[in-house]
Structure 1
Amino acid sequence: MRKLLIFKEIYVEAFRDWTFKMLTKYFKVYSWFCFALLMVAVYALIYRLSTGFVFA
């Protein structure tokens, strides 16, 4: 049982920093993706307003 706990601690310690780096990269990519989608939505709204689309 002691060897299993040591192995678990080594495993957790090895991947602790790795998961933090992966999460930060994931959130950076996700925020850029959301920003791009927001820009597409703003573009579509401005395009519809400029062409005289009736929002009814």
Structure 2
Amino acid sequence: MKAFLLLREIYLEAFKSFGNYLVRNYFKAFAWFSFTLLVVVLYAFVFRVYTGFAFD
């Protein structure tokens, strides 16, 4: 839980200094989109490993 709170604080501090509303929201959306893509890639990799896919 402490690690989650630390990551949350880092995330909030990263976007606090942005002045332009459009730029700030664009980077927030891009960060969440990138995080979502990373989760999908990790899920696909774990699924392939779990089902015995041969990485040749």
- Give the TM bin, normalised by the shorter chain: 0.5 to 0.7
TM-score by length of 2: 0.65
Runs of at least 4 residues off by over 2 Å: none
Q: CA RMSD in A?
A: 1.2
Higher RCO structure (Cα 8 Å, ≥6 apart): 2
TM-score by length of 1: 0.65
**Structure 2: 5+ residue runs without aligned partners?**
1-18
For this pair of structures, how many residues does the alignment match? Answer: 38
Q: Which of the two has greater helix per residue?
A: 1
Structure with the greater alpha carbon radius of gyration: 1
**Structure 1: 5+ residue runs without aligned partners?**
1-18
